Structure 1
Amino acid sequence: MTTLCVAKHFSSYPGGRFKRISEFSGEEFRDDFLAPAIRRGDKVVVELDGVVGYGSSFLEEVFGGIVRTMHWTDREQVNKHLKIESSQESWIFEVNQYIDEALECENSPETAQKKAIR
């Protein structure tokens, strides 16, 4: 199991959604920290505490984005690879909303059609 503490391993001041827009972006955390740990086969615990705060764009890009990147289609796949920890229940709730929305999108007929074309 790998633990990624956003504040300790990344930044106490998480930025916006994309690398081209801000330093310490959600895209950077997902691509450079979270996805590589998951690809190694580890279950990854992401600790959200210790930061000044999060923008919704950061959280959506990290957690909705990891669902899209890994092409996960159900909660079982998410729970096999990812655990979110925080003393802030609102952050966990928000992260889970982004995961659920991304899963819903991955299971949509439009997404299935795009996958069939690939």
Structure 2
Amino acid sequence: MTKITIAKDFSEYPAGRYRDDGDFSGEVFRDDLLEPRLREFDLVEVDLDGSMGYGSSFLEEAFGGLVRLKKFTKDALHKKLRFIYKEDPFVIDEIWTYIDSAHG
């Protein structure tokens, strides 16, 4: 198992969908941090606490993009991903909605 604390390991200000949107976009997070960890470890715990919030474009690209781009199946992500977000637990439901509704 490994843990990613977004505010410490990535940015306190994650924003945007694509790499062109900035260094802390969902695409950068997914491709440079999340996907490599998912490939290396059986379980990846993502701690969302400590950031200044998450836009839907960041979340959909970072997490839904894993399925949409055929990097992982929905079933695999349900086994490999765990989330912590004490500040706003409803965001965890939003992430799972992006994953489950993505078409890969």
TM-score by length of 2: 0.90
The residue correspondences of 1:78-93 to structure 2 (distance < 5 A) are 78-87=77-86, 88-93=88-93
How far is 1:82 from its partner? 0.9
Distance (whole Å) between structure 2 residues aligned to residue 82 and residue 53 of structure 1: 20
In structure 2, stretches of 5+ residues that fail to align are none
How far is 1:23 from its partner? 2.5
SS in structure 2 of the partner of residue 35 of structure 1: helix
The structure where helix makes up a greater share of residues is 1
User: Match for residue 60 of structure 1?
Assistant: 60
User: Match for residue 34 of structure 1?
Assistant: 34
Worse-matched range after superposition: 49-58 or 59-68 = 59-68
Distance (whole Å) between structure 2 residues aligned to residue 59 and residue 16 of structure 1: 9
Note if contact 2:48-2:85 (Cα within 8 Å) is conserved in structure 1: yes
In structure 1, stretches of 5+ residues that fail to align are 107-118
User: Match for residue 2 of structure 1?
Assistant: 2
- Larger Cα-atom Rg: 1
TM-score by length of 1: 0.80
Q: Amino acid of the residue matched to residue 94 of structure 1?
A: E
Count of paired positions? 102
RMSD (Å) for aligned C-alpha atoms: 1.3
SS in structure 1 of the partner of residue 65 of structure 2: helix
> Where do 4+ consecutive residues of structure 1 move more than 4 Å?
none
What is the CA deviation profile of residues 57-79 of structure 1, one whole-angstrom value per residue up to 9, with x for unaligned ones?
Answer: 0000011012234240x43x112
User: Match for residue 23 of structure 2?
Assistant: 23
Distance (whole Å) between structure 1 residues aligned to residue 80 and residue 67 of structure 2: 11
Identity level (%): 48
Note if contact 2:2-2:41 (Cα within 8 Å) is conserved in structure 1: no
Note if contact 2:46-2:81 (Cα within 8 Å) is conserved in structure 1: yes
